[in-house]
Chains A and B, each alone.
Chain A
């Protein structure tokens, strides 16, 4: 079983975010970056599948600047076998179609049986990369997966739907699946894992080498903090008057 895990490095959830001078991205120098949360569940799922089947390899793939090397190393320390990094510099690709196309170009020859990714990134949150990549490589796809069961040439997955509903889907391999956080308990890298990660291969590919025919359909114009608006209106009068006024406000706003 050859498994690819897409890993994105994002600002950690408790990072103090500041914007860069022209408000096109965040200031990176003081921010602590971490592996995107649902990606670490995807990685754990891949490692467990490899352990169950007792063969194959787990390859982590990431796109990003040099700092991303650390995210890949962390995944290698946890047990992934090798890494592939598409090297880019600022301004970074933010278009899921472009990103998925870059990944497709980088990994098409690896002929993975399974691609696992997080259901969405904690920074941009498009939630599309894994699905588009699957489509580009002619794979079956499923999103929001909370359980996987591998059997022979197919995989059965449990998808989370709305309102507490779930759906089981059986799909042929190869498949690209996006994983929901909480599906397993991600392991910590052991000290031996950390120390042996250095010896594992990380293949570097320049984005330029891949991007020739790939269009970027989307770019970031401007980032800003959500405006905090808080208005308090005191409603006075009898209960009937208050209810009437409340209904009116609710109707006006929704």
Chain B
């Protein structure tokens, strides 16, 4: 009997523990029954189903790989990857929510926060009682966040924040925004800004043709005063936000395999069912080649992801390896989604068949958390010793 829910051509299952498989099964089931019935409505309305957040929290799916001390589940990094895989098999927007909450907000608070910050926020973020967002990108600084304009000025017991952050996932939903800004010494630091703080506004960005089931916002900080103890004490400089991105990219490198798998499985079924010229289209060599390439690429991505996960568990994962996996697996998923759309013919553009939604979503995933190009250059710099972009 097999237990891995989904395509498993190279017996990935044998590389997973009983717990990891049970977790994958549970999240698969959860997404199928609790999230998928909501997808069309939210996709059409460009909204995120906020009601699911508490359920994610109850099951322990938020920041699941952080230690149990502050309310997280403390699962293995591979189990965390499988969670991302199953969430993104539903929709990249759902996985993005969890990535931001877990890797970009809970992780830095856990790693760089004060004891008070951890006690105040981590249990609430883990349970879904509070939502977090991560504000790094600015209108004029995307791939080059170190050029950021946002500033924090110390004034007595406070910091005064000024600046604009753009493309911020969970922005209008967030109870807590982790905003990266430069202090008077031009050093990047992380600031915790609570919802409702005077001078802080989050404005929803609409008109996205990708990642529609996700809240994306512009954060505006105009003389926003926060208590000085809201700075993350444990980190200074760009390695703060970059280390968070490494965590999130790790999750993405698993997540997109889920999106690709959804598209591949839909296309495979369709190719067996759809008859043209008296034969299923899957009986034609051109279609078979497409399907074979899809499953081959998915298999390679799975093997890269599992090895990356095991390296992470041993503390041996390098951020350049994560960049390679993000770059490679997202590009793979983007291609698979597009090929699936081809195989489905006209039905491929319909929302009922899901593949085009995934295809559009993956355009965002290709660009955020370090674009495909920037992650390529990270690996390029690593192997040549020659920096191409900094």
Of B57-65, B135-143, B346-354, B376-384, the segment with at least 4 beta carbons within 8 Å of chain A is: B57-65
Does B3 contact A30, Cβ atoms closer than 8 Å? Answer: no
Chain B residues contacting A197 (CB-CB under 8 Å) are: 22
Does A28 contact B64, Cβ atoms closer than 8 Å? Answer: no
- Taking a contact as CB atoms closer than 8 A, the residue among B2, B19, B29 that contacts A188 in the complex is B29
Chain A residues contacting B64 (CB-CB under 8 Å) are: 191
Alpha-carbon separation in the docked complex, A191 to B25 (Å):
11
Chain A residues contacting B60 (CB-CB under 8 Å) are: 190-192
**Does chain B have a CB within 8 A of A82?**
no
**Does chain A have a CB within 8 A of B5?**
yes
Of A67-75, A133-141, A208-216, A244-252, the segment with at least 4 beta carbons within 8 Å of chain B is: A67-75
Given A190-B58, A191-B59, A191-B64, CB of A29 within 8 Å of CB of B22:
no
**Does chain B have a CB within 8 A of A149?**
no
Closest to A30 in B: B2
Alpha-carbon separation in the docked complex, A24 to B336 (Å):
40
Alpha-carbon separation in the docked complex, A192 to B68 (Å):
9
Chain B residues contacting A33 (CB-CB under 8 Å) are: 1
How many whole Å from B87's CB to the nearest CB in chain A?
A: 13
How many whole Å from A232's CB to the nearest CB in chain B?
A: 19
**Does chain A have a CB within 8 A of B75?**
yes
Closest to B33 in A: A188
Does A28 contact B1, Cβ atoms closer than 8 Å? Answer: yes
Does A32 contact B61, Cβ atoms closer than 8 Å? Answer: no
Chain A residues contacting B1 (CB-CB under 8 Å) are: 28-33, 67
Q: Mark B1-15, 1 if CB is under 8 A from A, else 0.
A: 111010000000000
- Taking a contact as CB atoms closer than 8 A, the residue among A32, A189, A190 that contacts B2 in the complex is A32
Alpha-carbon separation in the docked complex, A32 to B68 (Å):
32
Chain A residues contacting B30 (CB-CB under 8 Å) are: 188
**Does chain B have a CB within 8 A of A106?**
no
Interface class of chain B by DSSP: helix
Chain B residues contacting A67 (CB-CB under 8 Å) are: 1
Does A191 contact B5, Cβ atoms closer than 8 Å? Answer: no
Does B2 contact A191, Cβ atoms closer than 8 Å? Answer: no
Alpha-carbon separation in the docked complex, A105 to B19 (Å):
32
Does A70 contact B19, Cβ atoms closer than 8 Å? Answer: no
How many whole Å from A33's CB to the nearest CB in chain B?
A: 5
Chain A residues contacting B68 (CB-CB under 8 Å) are: 192
Closest to A195 in B: B19
**Does chain B have a CB within 8 A of A200?**
no
Does B22 contact A74, Cβ atoms closer than 8 Å? Answer: yes
Does A198 contact B19, Cβ atoms closer than 8 Å? Answer: yes
Chain B residues contacting A195 (CB-CB under 8 Å) are: 19, 73-75
Chain A residues contacting B23 (CB-CB under 8 Å) are: 191, 194
**Does chain A have a CB within 8 A of B69?**
no
Alpha-carbon separation in the docked complex, A231 to B26 (Å):
43
Q: Which of A33, A73, A189, A198 has the most chain B CB atoms inside 10 A of its CB?
A: A189
Chain A residues contacting B26 (CB-CB under 8 Å) are: 77, 188-189, 194
**Does chain A have a CB within 8 A of B18?**
yes
How many whole Å from B324's CB to the nearest CB in chain A?
A: 28
How many whole Å from A37's CB to the nearest CB in chain B?
A: 12
CB-CB nearest 3 A-B residue pairs: A191-B60, A191-B73, A190-B59
